[in-house]
Chains A and B, each alone.
Chain A
Amino acid sequence: MKQRITYLLPPGTDYDPANIHISPDSVNITDTAEAPAIEKRVTAGLSELPAELRHVLSSIHELHIRYTSRQPYLAPSPLTSRLPPGLHVFFTPLASAPETDICPLLKSLFASPTQNIKCPSTPQSFSPIPILPGSERFAHTSSHQYYTPLPKNQILAFQTFLSRTFCPGTFRGECPNEIATLSFASYIDIDFDAISHAVTLTAVWRAGIGNPAARTPAKLWGGQDGGGLEVGVLVPQTADEAEEIKLGGFLTVVGEDEYPSATMFSFPSRHHAVPQSSLDIEPSFGISFQQPTGLHPKMSITFPQHQEGEKQQEGREGFLSPPKSEGACALHAYLTLPSAVFLDRYQLSDPAVLRENGLVALRSSSGEQDLEAPEWVVERWGSAALLELSPPPPNDSADDRGEWEVSVPLHLRYLQAANMTGGSEGGRGGGEGGEGYVDLTISFPAVFWACEAEEGLKMSTNPFDRVDIGYDGLFGPRTMFYHFSPATGGSSAGGSSAGGPGVGGGGMGSGIGQGVLESVIRVPVLEPVWGGLVAWGTFGAVVGGFGWVVWGLVRGMGRGKKGGVVKKTE
């Protein structure tokens, strides 16, 4: 197994290589101002994996699993790409085995006895990824997609699987400790393709995690012939080109190098953060649901304009303006919606509806498209949507709240009551929701500017390049993404925040959504409590009503007869 570990320090850090302590099988990094952001990448050849995994992978052409934590994090450069929190799976079967079912694999990785994931079989549950007309598709984009908003602590099932597989017989020590650190990861990627015959696991931890359990020393596994370990300590530098990222720092190959070697390199990057404004505040967005949500919840995406205190003279200039002066840019939101909720592609093709909601167009909608079916008959995971959002008109001073809000009209399917679904299938929150209600978790979308990149850019030379994240395949290969960071809680969304005030007796929303990248909406459901009473009550009503009408007919015939007799005798 090959390891690559990268410590990413904040820009401007002046790091002394004397703090990199090298031993024959490990590297220890000390004296950083705060715990640095870390990327760990482990590559294993198929032969290094247990037989049952090898067997499953043998019928897969490509598999990309993207798990994103619900905890908000500041994305360290160059790891700026984002996905909606939850578990995303992008998959291509081998051409010779198109019916390959990877649901059992997903269940063995991510399901636990208490938390099932809704995945009856790949052909039923996965959805084909569309090819947008007019955009040449990424050559490597997967053919099928699946998503489930994994509930809280669900990554535990994955950790259990890993320790069972890779740390047999041990419950303490380096191996389980290494796996335990995944609890703190902001995202985890697993990649496999039949051509490289290797599985790569990449995990990223945000900067500033205080808990020592989140950090393990960089150590060569299985002694000297463990496949190698490369450790980098890197600091982002000011790039020479707008589309590039430049990193400087020190690289160490464990077991080979006695001293870290200084390095400075730059590369074109597909993903960037939206450049910060002069106020030095990360450009962000928040989501909330307009209350009451009813059966047609409306998700608001709010971009706050940070202008504390006196209003700046520059007004709205620079607020939500394209991050790139050359090439066209468009503001987008990518949503992955559990099957309990959907958007109506017909409604979102109506220019009036789009305008009213601050949307430009629904660029792509895939997955479950049924507009009527209840949740309990839907087998597909849900649907993915790429929406182009309209930025505020330039020099618009009408909005005194200093924020820009667009909204996405959604519709709920009818759901089964909470106790009928065996835990939290299909995106239910942890809460039962209470009598007559179910709590539905909706993850924050990914919100970004998509811009044309200069021709001829070789994005894939980026050693931290990240592809197969759902929306990238919906754009041409020469596209750059500038990401907004999702923000929770203290957004200026007014009275309409996720945990908004209750309505009626039910008490809408809940505290579950606070501080994590998801919103919880309370959905009314029909509880199966009075099943017998309803059946017999309805039966009684129908029989009674029928009898009543027949009695009316009889009475009428009686009166009619008298009349008829009168007529005959005329």
Chain B
Amino acid sequence: MRTAVVFAAAILLRVGLIYFGYTDVDYLVFTDAARFVSRGRSPYDRATYRYTPLLAWLLYPTTWGGLWFEFGKGLFATADILTGWLIIRILRRRLSSEKATNYACIWLLNPIVASISARGSSEGLVCLLTVALLWATLQRRFIIAGGLLGFAVHFKIYPFIYAASLFCWADATHVGSVRHDRKDPNRPTWPDRVMAFFTPARRILTVVSALTFTLLNIAMLRPYGMPFLKHTFLYHFTRIDHRHNFSVYNTALHLDSAYQTSATGFRIESLAFIPQLLLSVVLIPLLLAKKNLPGAMLAQTFAFVTFNKVCTSQYFLWYMVFLPVYLPDSSLLWSRRGLVMLAAWVAGQAMWLQQGYELEFLGKSTFLPGLWVSSINFFLLNCWSLSIIVEDVGASMALRAAKKNDPKLTQ
């Protein structure tokens, strides 16, 4: 009953937002690309279309005109709702229906989430894929998980970071497979060790995800050729990212791009991938994935977005989607610390947005120091939050063990 009410409210919220809300520029890009596709042309004929052609095909009905134009927004909003349903499925593994629904409200009734989808951003679809990936993994459905992973990476690249955490997590303990080499535990030969490391789950994950990713790319490459590779993948290596955004690197990138001769000789942003990938692909998966997979995925995403060379508000959805599945295990929910973190995150963003507004709409030159200081402030606030989250996730084994409420873990 309660669940039905929440879903009804979530749907109403989105219908209302689509009805009254405005349309994002990205949505016009998607629908233009869909129009090109419907005429047998390439979606990359639309300048700034940088997504898989599948997205344009998904939005094919928007080309039918009239109310169908809103189809894509409806699709993204539906993805939000499905994501909420999956979140409840994940939480129901160890929480009551009522509690699971309560946590899912963080996603389902979140006005930021609802408005981003309702204005026509495709992030809702990516979030559906990543949560489905988590769900499939926790259910030990590794073929599905591998397929979802390959598809998600094809769709938006960044989910490749989850490969690391899923791989770490899928060890013998979690998969629960009984190894035959237990006969001689004292003297395992090295093939035994290798075989032990590459559990069947890990093998399936690797093969299925790589295969899905490759096959999808081949399928897209055949009709759309080099423009597909250029715009969906290679673009991310050549982009300048000089336009103002939340990223801590933005001002440095802008300066280096505009004044190459006057650069100080060292370019921190060319090494930006090191801290980013070290955290999101190496340290967090290695240290946290086995302890708490949802928490690790949240931390990975948070680290990836925080340390990225470009960051817009849509990216916040990527980690927000993991909040409902992480918070039940967290000591932060309703704690003073958690609330301060939330307030700091909102305030840091508001400070940046204020500077951005003055630049973009009032024409005030707030690049330096305003935007730079705001982005560093926001970055440090995020690092502080991330630091607390990774500590909390790292300690969560103890918490869980104390709670003893995961039947799968203790089976």
Q: Which residues of A contact B (CB under 8 A)?
A: 292-296, 346-347, 350, 369-374, 376-377, 414, 416-417, 420, 435-437, 503-506, 508, 522-532, 534-539, 541-542, 544-546, 548-553, 555-557, 559-560, 562-564, 566-567, 570
Q: A350 to B28, Cβ gap below 8 A?
A: yes
Interface check B249, CB cutoff 8 A? yes
The CA-CA distance from A332 to B153 in the complex, in Å, is 48
The CA-CA distance from A567 to B29 in the complex, in Å, is 53
The CA-CA distance from A146 to B248 in the complex, in Å, is 39
The interface stretch among B78-86, B213-221, B388-396 is B388-396
Interface check B360, CB cutoff 8 A? yes
Q: B367 to A372, Cβ gap below 8 A?
A: no
Q: B262 to A531, Cβ gap below 8 A?
A: yes
Q: A559 to B390, Cβ gap below 8 A?
A: no
Q: Which of B29, B255, B365 contacts A506 (CB 8 A)?
A: B365
Q: A523 to B383, Cβ gap below 8 A?
A: no
The interface stretch among B13-21, B138-146, B346-354, B397-405 is B397-405
Q: A437 to B394, Cβ gap below 8 A?
A: no
Q: A292 to B363, Cβ gap below 8 A?
A: yes
Q: A557 to B266, Cβ gap below 8 A?
A: no
Q: What are 27 contact pairs spanning A and B, CB under 8 A? A: A346-B46, A347-B28, A371-B48, A374-B240, A374-B242, A374-B258, A503-B362, A524-B359, A524-B367, A525-B367, A531-B262, A531-B264, A538-B249, A538-B251, A541-B248, A541-B376, A541-B380, A542-B379, A549-B303, A552-B386, A552-B391, A556-B287, A556-B392, A559-B398, A560-B398, A563-B398, A567-B397
Q: A556 to B251, Cβ gap below 8 A?
A: no
Q: For A530, what are the chain B residues with a Cβ–Cβ distance below 8 Å? A: 368-369
Using C-beta atoms within 8 Å of the partner chain, give the interface range for chain B: 35 or more
B288 CB, min distance to chain A CBs, angstroms: 8
B286 CB, min distance to chain A CBs, angstroms: 10
Q: Which of B243, B255, B360, B390 contacts A372 (CB 8 A)?
A: B243
Q: Quick one: given A531-B264, A552-B391, A560-B291, are A526 and B255 in contact (CB under 8 Å)?
A: yes
The CA-CA distance from A187 to B156 in the complex, in Å, is 54
Interface check B259, CB cutoff 8 A? yes
The residue on B at minimum CB distance from A350 is B28
The CA-CA distance from A137 to B402 in the complex, in Å, is 82
Q: Which of A369, A414, A539, A560 contacts B394 (CB 8 A)?
A: A560
8 nearest A-B pairs in the assembled complex, by CB-CB distance: A563-B398, A556-B394, A552-B387, A436-B365, A545-B383, A524-B365, A559-B395, A556-B391
Q: Quick one: given A374-B242, A545-B383, are A552 and B401 in contact (CB under 8 Å)?
A: no
Q: Which of A376, A524, A536, A549 contacts B383 (CB 8 A)?
A: A549
Q: For A416, what are the chain B residues with a Cβ–Cβ distance below 8 Å? A: 258-259
Q: B275 to A555, Cβ gap below 8 A?
A: no
The CA-CA distance from A416 to B307 in the complex, in Å, is 26
Q: B264 to A532, Cβ gap below 8 A?
A: yes
The CA-CA distance from A435 to B367 in the complex, in Å, is 12
| Chain A proximity mask over B231-271: 1 for CB below 8 Å, otherwise 0 | 00000000010110000110110110111001110111100
Q: Which of B252, B368, B376, B386 contacts A529 (CB 8 A)?
A: B368
Q: For A546, what are the chain B residues with a Cβ–Cβ distance below 8 Å? A: 275, 278-279, 307, 383
Q: For A435, what are the chain B residues with a Cβ–Cβ distance below 8 Å? A: 365
Q: Quick one: given A541-B379, A549-B386, A552-B390, are A503 and B368 in contact (CB under 8 Å)?
A: no
Interface check B102, CB cutoff 8 A? no
Q: B363 to A508, Cβ gap below 8 A?
A: yes
The CA-CA distance from A528 to B396 in the complex, in Å, is 47
Q: B307 to A372, Cβ gap below 8 A?
A: no
Q: Quick one: given A542-B307, A552-B387, are A526 and B251 in contact (CB under 8 Å)?
A: yes
Q: Which of B262, B275, B384 contacts A528 (CB 8 A)?
A: B262
Q: A503 to B28, Cβ gap below 8 A?
A: no
| Chain A proximity mask over B288-329: 1 for CB below 8 Å, otherwise 0 | 100100000000000100110000000000000000000000
B45 CB, min distance to chain A CBs, angstroms: 12
The residue on A at minimum CB distance from B250 is A538
Q: B303 to A560, Cβ gap below 8 A?
A: no
Interface check B47, CB cutoff 8 A? yes
Interface of B is mostly: helix
Q: A370 to B47, Cβ gap below 8 A?
A: yes
Q: A549 to B368, Cβ gap below 8 A?
A: no
Interface check B283, CB cutoff 8 A? yes
B294 CB, min distance to chain A CBs, angstroms: 15
Q: For A553, what are the chain B residues with a Cβ–Cβ distance below 8 Å? A: 283-284, 287-288, 390-391, 394
Known: A294-B363, A535-B264, A559-B394. 14 other contacts (CB 8 A): A295-B363, A414-B258, A508-B363, A523-B363, A524-B367, A542-B249, A550-B279, A553-B284, A553-B394, A555-B391, A556-B288, A556-B391, A560-B398, A566-B401
Q: For A552, what are the chain B residues with a Cβ–Cβ distance below 8 Å? A: 386-391, 394
Q: B384 to A548, Cβ gap below 8 A?
A: yes
The CA-CA distance from A252 to B365 in the complex, in Å, is 61
Interface check B199, CB cutoff 8 A? no
The residue on B at minimum CB distance from A523 is B363
B35 CB, min distance to chain A CBs, angstroms: 10
The CA-CA distance from A350 to B29 in the complex, in Å, is 12
- Which of A293, A373, A542, A566 has the most chain B CB atoms inside 10 A of its CB? A542
A566 CB, min distance to chain B CBs, angstroms: 6
Q: A531 to B263, Cβ gap below 8 A?
A: yes
- Which of A504, A552, A567, A570 has the most chain B CB atoms inside 10 A of its CB? A552
Interface check B76, CB cutoff 8 A? no
Q: B365 to A560, Cβ gap below 8 A?
A: no
Q: B264 to A504, Cβ gap below 8 A?
A: no
Interface check B366, CB cutoff 8 A? yes
The CA-CA distance from A535 to B266 in the complex, in Å, is 8
Interface check B372, CB cutoff 8 A? yes
Q: For A541, what are the chain B residues with a Cβ–Cβ distance below 8 Å? A: 248, 376, 379-380
Q: B365 to A534, Cβ gap below 8 A?
A: no
Q: B360 to A296, Cβ gap below 8 A?
A: yes
Q: Quick one: given A503-B364, A560-B396, are A538 and B268 in contact (CB under 8 Å)?
A: yes
Q: Quick one: given A350-B28, A371-B47, A553-B287, are A524 and B379 in contact (CB under 8 Å)?
A: no
Q: A522 to B386, Cβ gap below 8 A?
A: no
The CA-CA distance from A570 to B400 in the complex, in Å, is 13
Interface check B123, CB cutoff 8 A? no
Q: B391 to A559, Cβ gap below 8 A?
A: yes
Q: B258 to A526, Cβ gap below 8 A?
A: yes
The residue on A at minimum CB distance from B253 is A538
Q: For B389, what are the chain A residues with a Cβ–Cβ distance below 8 Å? A: 552
Q: A555 to B368, Cβ gap below 8 A?
A: no
Q: A504 to B364, Cβ gap below 8 A?
A: yes
Q: A567 to B401, Cβ gap below 8 A?
A: yes
Q: A506 to B363, Cβ gap below 8 A?
A: yes
Q: For B272, what are the chain A residues with a Cβ–Cβ distance below 8 Å? A: 542
- Which of B307, B365, B396 has the most chain A CB atoms inside 10 A of its CB? B365
B237 CB, min distance to chain A CBs, angstroms: 16
The residue on B at minimum CB distance from A420 is B259
Q: A372 to B48, Cβ gap below 8 A?
A: yes
Interface check B32, CB cutoff 8 A? yes
The CA-CA distance from A414 to B396 in the complex, in Å, is 47
Q: For A436, what are the chain B residues with a Cβ–Cβ distance below 8 Å? A: 365, 367-368
